[in-house]
Amino acid sequence: MAVISVIKLSELEGTKRIDAEYYKPEYISNKKYILNYTEHKNIKQIGCKVVSGPFGSSLKSEAYLKEGIPFIRIKNLSYFFIDDEELVYISREDNERLKSSQLKLGDLVLSKVGNTIGVVSIITQEIGNCNISENNIGIKFLSETPLALKLFILTFLNSRLGRMQILRSISGNAQPKLNIKDIYNLVLFIPNKKLLGKIGNTILEAKNLIYKSKSLYLQAENLLLDELGLKDFNPKYELSYTAKLSDTFGVHRVDAEYFQPAYEHIEEYLVKEFGARPIGKISFIAVTTGQYCEEYVEKAEGMPYIRGTDLKNGTVSTDDLVYINPENQIESKKTKEGDIVVTRVGTIGLSARIPKECEGGTISDNLIRLRFDQEKLNSYFLALFLGSPIGVNLMIRNSRGSVQQRLNQETLKEVVIPLLSFKTQQKLASLVQQSYKARKKSKELLEIAKQAVEIAIEENEGRGMSYIEKELEKLKLGNS
């Protein structure tokens, strides 16, 4: 159904934009909501400085280090907080040379291109002083800006109404992007101190829960390695080694990586000490690949379509899930809670347990699914093992290809799994479940904060305040 929006020439807002997309009715009404507040300012009026990351080839990937000054790339951005899993670093010299794009504690960073355009994260004390890539934009605050105001702006920009403003500002056809001037012109309302403080405290509690979740998962991983006697296991990677011709015939492999002694030592140790068995020889595990699909629908009309990019922290992140028409689903490719999926191309070794909210969805063709009797093998334990350094190394060993490494059903079946006692599996699973519970509660808190901002804008601040207080109390009671 066509949507018509009529705009007078005098209402073009001085943007030099005449494209229909910019004047969609929801974009116009959204801005009017905000402008109705007497206390509203744009980013420039608040006193922020907006900067872009270093342009062009001023910093190449060869400059990335394992320690130094954190360098934030698009892949590190997530709603509200930086994802540090694939964080890289640059030297102090490079950071000093790129002085204009330096950020500090409390500053914001958002992506200006790509599929995650407009995702906004805050620089926390865990990240500290940092720099940003050319595909990101930084919002630098004055030193005297209160933390509560920074957290409110973070929440507003990640809310539905804030994101509508950001998406409206996107320009360009070949490669849509945001410009510095677009960010300066973003308008937001300034709520009363009570609501400002409540939202800020909610975001801080959510942040603490995320780091609690990470700590619990790390405990689980360390306990797993301890149970396997591999906590201090440091296999030596050999530069040169030999393999028998008969061994190459047995596995149909002649590449050096497969016969790396370090991998062999790990596998031999697990088999000898824990009776580890290849996945393909465990009768109650069924292995299958996913389904290719590129036609997506709205969430309300579809079912989750789980891709490799959705696998994070041993589970499926629902932040950027896409959905497909149920009529296009292949029954055998659907998911059940407790299924384990692993990536077969790209970053080999990412693994996740399918959560309840993704049950009935479909896995993409870039994933492999393991389905098994969960009374014989704990799904949290298996996801933990496959995602550990040991499991990842074993999957990398069994991947193939020279230009692009690939893992397929048959090679995954060669990966060995140590079948620890079910009591031990449950002990490890308990820590993982606590980790997931903390992360889930964090996400709920962030959603509550965003909803409170939207209610305050669309209705009034009093309703926004009563909503956040009521929802926080329900969440507290729900966890007692």
Q: For residues 264 and 247, what is the distance between their CA atoms, to the nearest angstrom?
A: 12
Say which CATH topology domain 9-190 has. Adenine-n6-DNA-methyltransferase TaqI; Chain A, domain 2 (3.90.220)
**Dihedral over Cα of 38, 44, 48, 50: its sign:** positive
Q: For residues 24 and 168, what is the distance between their CA atoms, to the nearest angstrom?
A: 9
- pLDDT tops 90 at residue 342: yes
pLDDT band at 241 (very low <50, low <70, confident <90, very high): very low
**Dihedral over Cα of 453, 82, 479, 304: its sign:** positive
Q: What is the mean pLDDT of the chain?
A: 85
- pLDDT tops 80 at residue 233: no
Q: For residues 290 and 306, what is the distance between their CA atoms, to the nearest angstrom?
A: 9
What's the whole-model pTM score? 0.83
The more confident residue out of 250 and 23 is: 23
pLDDT band at 243 (very low <50, low <70, confident <90, very high): very low
Span of 13-27, 103-117, 126-140, 391-405 with lowest mean pLDDT: 13-27
Contact 262, 301 (CB under 8 A): no
CA distances (Å), origin 473, targets 122, 262, 476: 26, 52, 5
Contact 152, 199 (CB under 8 A): yes
Q: Which residues, 6+ apart, have CB-to-CB distance to 287 below 8 Å?
A: 279, 280, 368, 369, 370, 409, 412, 413
* pLDDT score recorded for residue 402: 55
Residues of the chain with pLDDT > 70: what percent? 82
Q: pLDDT, tens digit, for every residue of 414-455?
A: 999 998 999 999 999 999 999 999 999 999 999 999 999 999
Give the residue among 406, 404, 356, 352 at the shortest CA–CA distance from 379: 352
CA distances (Å), origin 282, targets 173, 415, 428: 52, 11, 21
Sorted by where each begins, the domain ranges of the chain are 9-190, 229-419, 430-478
Would you state the structure tokens that stand for residue 244, as one six-digit string? Answer: 């028998």
Give exposure, 2-38, as e/b (b: 16+ Cβ within 10 Å): eeeeeeeeeeeeeeeeeeeebbeeebeebbeebeebe
- pLDDT tops 70 at residue 357: yes
Contact 475, 445 (CB under 8 A): yes
Q: pLDDT, tens digit, for every residue of 269-327?
A: 899 999 999 999 999 999 999 999 989 999 999 999 999 989 988 999 988 899 999 99
In terms of Cβ atoms closer than 10 Å to its own Cβ (0-12, 13-18, 19+), residue 400 is middle
Per CATH, 9-190 and 229-419 having the same topology is answered yes
Q: For residues 437 and 310, what is the distance between their CA atoms, to the nearest angstrom?
A: 18
Q: Which residue has the tokens 């620890």?
A: 420
Mean pLDDT of 224-242: 69
H-helix or E-strand spanning residue 130: strand 130-132
Q: For residues 308 and 138, what is the distance between their CA atoms, to the nearest angstrom?
A: 28
Domain 229-419 is found in CATH 3.40.50.460: no
Q: For residues 147 and 131, what is the distance between their CA atoms, to the nearest angstrom?
A: 20
Q: Which residue has the tokens 């291109």?
A: 113
Write the DSSP assignment of 181-199 as a string of letters. Answer: HHHHT-EEE---HHHHHHH
Mean pLDDT of 120-133: 95
Q: Which amino acid makes up residue 101? A: S
